[in-house]
Structure 1
Amino acid sequence: MVISKLFSPIEIRGVTIPNRVFYSPMCEYSCDSDGLATDWHMVHLG
């Protein structure tokens, strides 16, 4: 049986990503004035 690496961790430049499924940054909406995600982002990205 072949096990997909899609859901296995990967380390990139010292940062461990728990799986290989991620949402790339896009300019749909801006962050707040401090550069942080807002409640909208939490609802939209889950």
Structure 2
Amino acid sequence: MNDISAQNKLMTEGEDSSEDIDTHVAAWIEEHRAEYDSWLEAARAAAR
């Protein structure tokens, strides 16, 4: 929930272009790399 609130705050402060959002996404992924990678691993395993 905190991540969503932070994203919404950035957008209401004017960081709402597609490029801004792409930057936010990339930053979130880097800050949560282990969790993100585990989701990708699980998805790949489920697709087999």
* TM-score (ref. length: structure 1): 0.22
Structure having the higher strand fraction is 1
Q: Find the structure with the greater CA-based Rg.
A: 1
* TM-score (ref. length: structure 2): 0.22
Structure having the higher helix fraction is 2
RCO higher in structure (CA 8 A, sep ≥6): 1
